[in-house]
């Protein structure tokens, strides 16, 4: 008899694969979610990416942050990942499932979420004072809860500068904007 977790995981991944297949088949653009949620996106490499030579110092700092973030995911470096996130961060997966910072780190440590390669495409970065938003298409090769696939996801990541360091944060509340 299957456990509730196994049934839930089966439902989550069935939905994920159906969503991915439908998005690719229909070739429909999906808008970035405003809640740190990653969404499937069609192949659409004709958008311009910001030229690093035209970026401000803060935008270049965000590039370094994003590289550290991706490398730490691939390397399963829980210490670095933990240092790059606000303690109250809630991560939202393409299925709509949410995880706290600690829940996500525990999944990576246990290798129930294992990332093999992460590429960023069509990247734009906006910085205003001590806040930043990075929007890009992630191409992620990962094994999530036992199923390995490569996903193309629209990603919107919010960051706040704390001292000299950027950390990933939840999207600003509507009254913070």
The 10s digit of each residue's pLDDT in 63-121 is 999 999 999 999 999 999 999 999 999 999 878 889 999 999 999 999 999 999 999 99
Please say whether the beta carbons of 66 and 134 come within 8 A: yes
The 10s digit of each residue's pLDDT in 9-21 is 433 343 443 333 3
Residue 89 lies in a domain: yes
pTM: 0.71
Please say whether the beta carbons of 158 and 171 come within 8 A: yes
The pLDDT of residue 128 is above 50: yes
Residue 71 lies in a domain: yes
The pLDDT of residue 50 is above 90: no
Residue 124 lies in a domain: yes
Predicted confidence band of residue 32 (pLDDT cuts 50, 70, 90)? very low
pLDDT cut 70: percent of the chain above it: 69
Residue 33 lies in a domain: no
Six-digit token string for 128: 């205003």
Q: Is the dihedral of CA 90, 104, 20, 133 positive or negative?
A: positive
Question: Into how many domains does the chain fold?
Answer: 1
Predicted confidence band of residue 5 (pLDDT cuts 50, 70, 90)? very low
Residue 30 lies in a domain: no
3-state secondary structure of 159: strand
Mean pLDDT of the chain: 79
Residue 15 lies in a domain: no
Six-digit token string for 142: 């990962």
Phi, psi of 111 (to 5 degrees): 65, 25
| Alpha-carbon gap, residue 159 to 102, rounded angstroms | 18
| Alpha-carbon gap, residue 114 to 144, rounded angstroms | 6
Domain containing 91 equals 57-168
Residue 36 lies in a domain: no
For residue 71, the domain's CATH number is 3.10.450.50
Residue 109 lies in a domain: yes
């Amino acid at each position: 008899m299957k456990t509730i977790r196994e049934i839930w995981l089966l439902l989550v991944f069935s939905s994920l694969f159906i969503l991915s297949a439908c998005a690719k088949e229909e070739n429909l653009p999906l808008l970035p979610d405003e809640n740190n949620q990653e969404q499937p996106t069609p192949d659409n490499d004709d958008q311009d990416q910001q030229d690093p030579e035209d970026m401000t110092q803060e935008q270049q700092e965000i590039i370094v942050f994003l590289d550290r973030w991706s490398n730490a995911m691939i390397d399963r470096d829980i210490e670095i990942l933990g240092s790059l996130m606000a303690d109250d961060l809630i991560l939202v997966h393409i299925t709509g499932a949410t995880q706290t910072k600690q829940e996500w780190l525990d999944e990576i440590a246990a290798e129930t979420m294992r990332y093999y390669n992460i590429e960023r495409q069509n990247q734009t970065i906006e910085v205003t004072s001590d806040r930043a938003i990075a929007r890009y298409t992630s191409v992620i090769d990962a094994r999530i809860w036992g199923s390995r696939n490569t996903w193309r996801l629209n990603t919107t990541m919010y960051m706040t500068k704390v001292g000299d360091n950027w950390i990933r944060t939840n999207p600003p509340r509507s009254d913070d904007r």
